[in-house]
């Protein structure tokens, strides 16, 4: 019996994403013990510092060569960027047309914000590698998306959410200066400092991971603490939360199908189609949470990021299953022209246009 319990424990450790568990644990702590008053002001200041540090590290770790490679492989990356910053926001605007009984105006803003975000770097690369796709192209595409997202996401928030209004969420063009100061300036400073800090960052990966994830957990705690003091759970009933989760599933399925269909339409080989599917459908929690703290009033951040939290959790579960299934099918029958049982009809024939296809990468 003891051996069985140990085997189950090992299986759980490998299957469970403990970072997601930590995120929801922090929400629980914020629900039971929200920070208020002067302590809340201190946490808000810590969040601003953490967000600046986070974007500095993004800049310091991102090679300019990756962005250049992204430009060169335009036949793959242009469709991915179009899906991320055009098709996805259009889906978010369409979701905003749902009746208020299904999606409140505050949650509609959160859904639209979710669809405006860039692709995630870590998950996109990890899933592409797992499914035996073009890892080098995924690194370039996700990195390029992140760079553009630092600029495009705030601009789209001002243009779309500022115009459609989110009740109680005024977004003004004048805020772009503050956004640039808190997000773009640290990012560019990281790029400038890259030549001096890259080696140090490489030697302290564990410390950087703690900084990355710790910053996100701090943002979540601050946002949901503010949400508790303004009655977030009184504004989102269990029924509406289930409807929101169903909408996130629908948005993810739509993104996966659009990415796959577009990649097949333009004749990309299997490895590049895998890259397009994961980079074109994933949304970045790491970028989205800090941006939300800058773009929206503090008392509304909690409810705005709720759709993103749900979508991110669903995308991790669904894409991990999809990547494992594709990898298994490709290993079992690599000579077939069609990937059987994928549910999306991705072919395994053909080779990547990138000679570095199949190289491994650290998803961090």
d(CA 355, CA 255): 27
Residue carrying structure tokens 């302290």 = 204
CATH 1.20.1530.20 is the classification of domain 7-332? yes
Q: Which of 120, 97, 123 is nearest to 247 (CA)?
A: 97
d(CA 214, CA 321): 27
Answer whether 106's CB lies under 8 Å from 303's CB: yes
d(CA 337, CA 284): 33
**Tell me, what's the pLDDT at 15?**
61
What Rg value do the Cα atoms of the chain yield, rounded? 20
d(CA 324, CA 58): 28
**Cα–chain-centroid distance for residue 241?**
20
d(CA 266, CA 351): 15
pLDDT in tens, the chain (364 residues): 566 556 655 654 556 667 678 878 888 888 888 887 788 778 878 887 887 887 788 778 767 766 566 567 788 888 899 999 999 999 999 998 988 888 888 899 999 999 999 998 777 877 888 888 887 788 778 877 887 888 888 888 888 886 544 444 555 445 556 666 776 788 788 888 888 888 888 888 787 777 777 877 887 788 778 777 767 777 788 888 899 999 999 999 999 999 999 999 999 888 889 999 999 999 988 788 888 888 888 778 888 888 988 898 888 888 888 888 887 776 654 444 444 333 444 433 333 334 333 333 333 3
- The SS3 of residue 158 is helix
Neighbours of 195 (CB within 10 A): 9
Residue carrying structure tokens 């659009």 = 258
DSSP 262: H
pTM: 0.70
Domain range annotation of the chain? 7-332
């Amino acid at each position: 019996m003891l051996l069985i319990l140990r085997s189950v424990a090992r299986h759980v450790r490998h299957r469970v994403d403990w970072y997601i568990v930590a995120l929801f644990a922090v929400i629980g702590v914020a629900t039971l013990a929200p920070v208020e008053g002067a302590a809340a002001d201190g946490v808000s200041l810590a969040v601003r510092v953490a967000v600046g540090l986070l974007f500095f590290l993004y800049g310091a770790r991102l090679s300019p060569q990756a962005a250049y490679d992204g430009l060169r492989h335009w036949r793959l990356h242009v469709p991915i960027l179009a899906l991320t910053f055009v098709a996805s926001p259009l889906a978010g605007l369409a979701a905003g047309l749902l009746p208020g009984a299904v999606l409140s105006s505050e949650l509609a803003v959160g859904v639209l914000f979710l669809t405006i975000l860039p692709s995630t770097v870590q998950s996109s690369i990890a899933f592409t590698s797992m499914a035996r796709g073009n890892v080098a192209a995924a690194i370039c595409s996700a990195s390029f998306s992140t760079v553009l997202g630092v600029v495009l996401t705030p601009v789209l928030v001002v243009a779309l959410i500022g115009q459609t209004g989110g009740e109680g969420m005024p977004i003004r063009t004048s805020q772009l200066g503050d956004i640039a100061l808190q997000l773009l300036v640290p990012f560019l400073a990281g790029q400038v400092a890259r030549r001096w800090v890259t080696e140090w960052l490489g030697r302290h990966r564990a410390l950087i991971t703690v900084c990355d994830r710790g910053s996100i957990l701090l943002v979540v705690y601050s946002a949901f603490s503010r949400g508790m003091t303004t009655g977030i759970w009184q504004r989102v009933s269990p029924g509406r939360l289930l409807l929101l989760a169903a909408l996130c599933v629908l948005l993810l399925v739509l993104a996966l199908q659009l990415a796959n269909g577009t990649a097949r339409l333009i004749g990309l080989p299997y490895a590049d189609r895998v890259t397009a599917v994961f980079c074109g459908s994933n949304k970045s929690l790491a970028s989205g949470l800090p941006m939300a703290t800058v773009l929206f009033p503090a008392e509304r951040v909690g409810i705005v990021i709720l759709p993103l939290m749900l979508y991110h959790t669903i995308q991790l579960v669904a894409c991990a299953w999809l990547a494992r299934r594709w990898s298994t099918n490709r290993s079992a029958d690599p000579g077939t022209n069609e990937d059987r049982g994928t549910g999306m009809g991705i072919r395994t024939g053909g080779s990547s246009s990138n000679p570095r296809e199949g190289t491994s990468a650290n998803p961090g």
